[in-house]
Amino acid sequence: MTALKRTPLHALHLELGARMVPFAGYEMPVQFPLGVMKEHQHTREKAGLFDVSHMGQVIVKGASYAAAAAGLEPLIPVDVLGLPENRQRYGFFTNEDGGIADDLMLANRGDHVFVVVNAACKRADIAHMKAALEPGVAVTELADRALLALQGPCAEAVLSAMDARTVNMSFMDVATLDLNGVAAWVSRSGYTGEDGYEISVPADAAEDLARALLAHPDVEAIGLGARDSLRLEAGLCLYGHDIDASTSPVEGGLTWAIQKVRRAGGARAGGFPGADAIIGQMAEGAARKRVGLLPEGRAPMREGVVLFATAEAVDPIGSITSGGFGPTVGGPVAMGYVAAEYAALGTTLYGDLRGKRQPVTVVKMPFTPANFKR
């Protein structure tokens, strides 16, 4: 792993006894001595601290916020111009075929747009934005900042002890707060389905802040293993698995992120890569859909399991893109894509598990209720 990049918290992870693995070009903690199951449960019950510094942090800045937003809207099929100041929104880059090139978070910070993109895609994403926006709008990667996520029902109490203003933030609010004596960019959001915050700080302040948060009795360090099981129970997509360049927002069930103004008939409808394909699918439906799946029994059905309409069918009708054991659910959970005619809730399908057909039921997501502070 010597060729892998390291986050500013790398030494702390080793000190805490993390098991490190390669992930998106970085050496990252997959679990700590507590173990994946207990890390998952601790986050659901109290508060977990995640290192997500491998993500790309980018400032998009023009003569005004409106100039930066107007530059981004031809790349992202969401309402960037209409996003209120100090609010954040989920979005995605699309390609000419209507596929998702990456998903992202973007925030209105008054005079610029703050964008967070996936680690594996950040080089391509930044190049994509630079080619489309510069020189009129500057695209600057923040390579000198860390990104932490504090997630769970105790997150507000923990963070408000450092800055009481966190209590007044609602889901998707963004603010600059004083955390451990450092000006931190904080959003009330996350990737677990729980209430929580994502915290951008200068790299040289990250370890001290992490230690201060971990000193609280309700906070534990959490690795990638529990991050994955938490987001799966929350029904959240993992780029490169549940969504990718070959899946459209319609197929992925993500059209809620495309605001009315960018849809057919909206004031700024279309104008983004793949608009005709995506808006067409929104009107006519997609041939396949992402669905929640509940396997029968205790054996998880993981990514790559092929799905069939019956136990005897020869031709597959879909496949699983994410799956595993859901500690909060108390059993296996999965999501995947199936032909639209098999996507109705309650439909029984069959997954090919090591040569045997096992029943799996199409169910509503999320598998565990979201606890965001609205």
- CATH number at 156 reads 3.30.1360.120
Alpha-carbon distances of 56 from 74, 125, 308, rounded to whole Å? 20, 9, 38
**Is 108 within a domain?**
no
- Whichever domain contains 357, its CATH number is 2.40.30.110
Examine the domain organization and report whether 292 and 374 are in the same domain.
yes
Range of the domain at 348: 287-374
| Residue ranges of the chain with per-residue pLDDT less than 70 | 1-2
**Are 308 and 227 within one domain?**
no
Q: Which two tokens stand for residue 1?
A: 């792993």
Is the whole model's pTM more than 0.75, yes or no? yes
Asked if 294 and 373 sit in the same domain, the reply is yes
Structure tokens at 62: 């023009």
Alpha carbon distance 15, 210 (integer Å): 13
Number of domains in the chain: 2
Of 233, 252, 271, the residue at which a domain comes to its end is 233
**Residues 229 and 307 placed together within one structural domain of the fold:** no
Residue 93 belongs to a domain: no
318 with 215, same domain?
no
Residue among 174, 147, 136, 113 nearest 28 (CA): 147
Residue 316 pLDDT: 98
Note the pLDDT of residue 2.
Answer: 67
Q: What is the pLDDT of residue 358?
A: 97
Per the domain annotation, does 325 fall within a domain? yes
Give CA–CA dist 168/171, Å, rounded. 10
Does 292 lie in the same domain as 374? yes
pLDDT in tens, 151-190: 999 999 999 999 999 999 999 999 999 999 999 999 999 9
Residues 228 and 294 placed together within one structural domain of the fold: no
From the list 274, 310, 373, the residue with the least C-alpha distance to 76 is 274
Together in a domain, 373 and 293: yes
Residue 176 lies in a domain: yes
Answer whether residue 344 is part of any domain: yes
Domain boundary among 213, 233, 253: 233
Tell me whether residue 41 is in a domain. Answer: yes
Is 49 found in the same domain as 148? yes
What is the Cα 347 distance to its own chain's centre?
Answer: 27
Instruction: Establish if 137 belongs to a structural domain.
Output: no
Residue 166 in any domain: the answer is yes
Domain check: are 46 and 170 in the same one?
yes
Which is nearest to 113 in space by CA: 78, 144, 149? 78
Nearest to 183 by CA among 166, 207, 167, 199: 199
Shared domain check, 194 and 303: no
